[in-house]
Amino acid sequence: MFIKGGEKTLRWLVIGISLILLLSCEREAEPLYPHRGKLVLKGICLNHTIQFIGGQPIRLDKWEREWINPIDGKRWERVFRLENECDFPQSLEEGDEFWFRIVPPQPTCIKCKGYSPTPNKGIPIEVLY
């Protein structure tokens, strides 16, 4: 039924096509700067509020859809509390935008006891600029 050597040729053809398909698939690389944020409130003693403004999505349970600052009544959307205060660059000011990634929780560091209101939900981040 088969031409002599046809099975061998067919097998190599299937292997070759499979290799081409496997090698041509591209995995999406993780972006170098996955999330974009804005420092919206620079509170005393590193009690900072950050607004998520773009980049890769962040799980909804990690940030507040809406938060009202109890001091001035200003309403903020898509915000979270800076959770790893001691790793945040002091050079950033309110209104500054930056790229960041979420990092594992860090051990707490020594900080002053002053308080500024922040959202309930916090995220430890590394600023990438």
pLDDT in tens, 59-111: 889 999 999 999 999 999 999 999 988 889 999 999 999 999 999 988 777 77
Q: How many domains does the chain have?
A: 1
The pLDDT assigned to 28 comes to 47
29 is a domain residue: no
Is residue 92 within 8 A of residue 117, CB to CB? The reply is: no
97 is a domain residue: yes
**Is 0.85 surpassed by the pTM of this model?**
no
The pLDDT assigned to 68 comes to 97
| Rg of the chain in Å (alpha carbons) | 25
102 is a domain residue: yes
28 is a domain residue: no
Q: Which domain holds residue 83?
A: 35-127
Contacts of 34 (CB under 8 A, 6+ apart): 55, 56, 99, 100, 101
